[in-house]
Amino acid sequence: MNEQATMAPPRLGLSAALQLLGFIIAVVAIWLAISGYLLHMHAGFAGFLFLWYWGAVEKAEFDRLLPSAFGAIFGAVLAWQMMYLPSRFGAAGLVAGIAVLTAMVLVQLLNRAPLFVNNSTMLFLTVLTAPVLIGAVKLQDVTICVALGTVYFANAAYLAKAYAGVRVKMKVQSA
């Protein structure tokens, strides 16, 4: 058997897939209402980016929740300093910003501060320094959306995992 076949997730039945789809639609709609409508944040995507990273890369493991969140926020701070320092100090600020980024890459390579400098950090740094986003979103909006998204999506994941556990127990008991 090849490696991909052993790593493939189990297939869902149609009923379970439709239930999961309904849950995902509800979770997304509520997040959009909270981040956009209620809080008027223009960085709601940061919550989704956090969810994608924590869910897809870290498999929504709760022991990886804080490093994922802290890394995301630190990545946003690193992106912000790359905009702030050059605008405030010119070429010297650009050199300082690049020096900070170089140091952070080294910290990650050496795994010296994994709670704050990790793959989540580098994902948020990369996305938030994309030309289309530079200056378009505020650091505080990104930080708030990541923090709220962490709490919101962790609770959604907890509910989904609890529901899946109940379904498995019911299936085992009925067999």
pLDDT band at residue 173 under the 50/70/90 scheme: confident
Residue 29: inside a domain: no
pLDDT at 4 exceeding the cut of 60:
no
What is the number of structural domains in the chain?
A: 1
pLDDT at residue number 171: 77
Residue 26: inside a domain: no
Residue 30: inside a domain: no
Residue 133: inside a domain: yes
Closest CA to 118 of 50, 165, 20: 50
pLDDT at residue number 2: 55
Residue 111: count other Cβ atoms within 10 Å of its Cβ.
9
Q: Are 31 and 48 in contact (CB under 8 A)?
A: yes
Mean residue pLDDT of the chain comes to 92
pLDDT at residue number 12: 79
pLDDT at 174 exceeding the cut of 90:
no
Residue 27: inside a domain: no
For CA atoms 20, 21, 22, 28, give the dihedral sign.
Answer: positive
Average pLDDT over residues 22-51: 95
CA gap 126, 130 in Å, rounded: 7
Residue 118: inside a domain: yes
pLDDT at 53 exceeding the cut of 90:
yes
Average pLDDT over residues 11-27: 91
Residue 154: inside a domain: yes
CA gap 33, 24 in Å, rounded: 14
pLDDT at 41 exceeding the cut of 70:
yes
Residue 20: inside a domain: no
For 65-107, how does the pLDDT look when each residue is reduced to its tens digit (9 = 90+)?
999 999 999 999 999 999 999 999 999 999 999 999 999 999 9
pLDDT at residue number 107: 98
**pLDDT > 70: percent of the chain:** 95
For 117-158, how does the pLDDT look when each residue is reduced to its tens digit (9 = 90+)?
999 999 999 999 998 888 889 999 999 999 999 999 999 999
Q: Which residues form the domain of 65?
A: 41-159
- The structure's pTM equals 0.88
pLDDT at 3 exceeding the cut of 60:
no
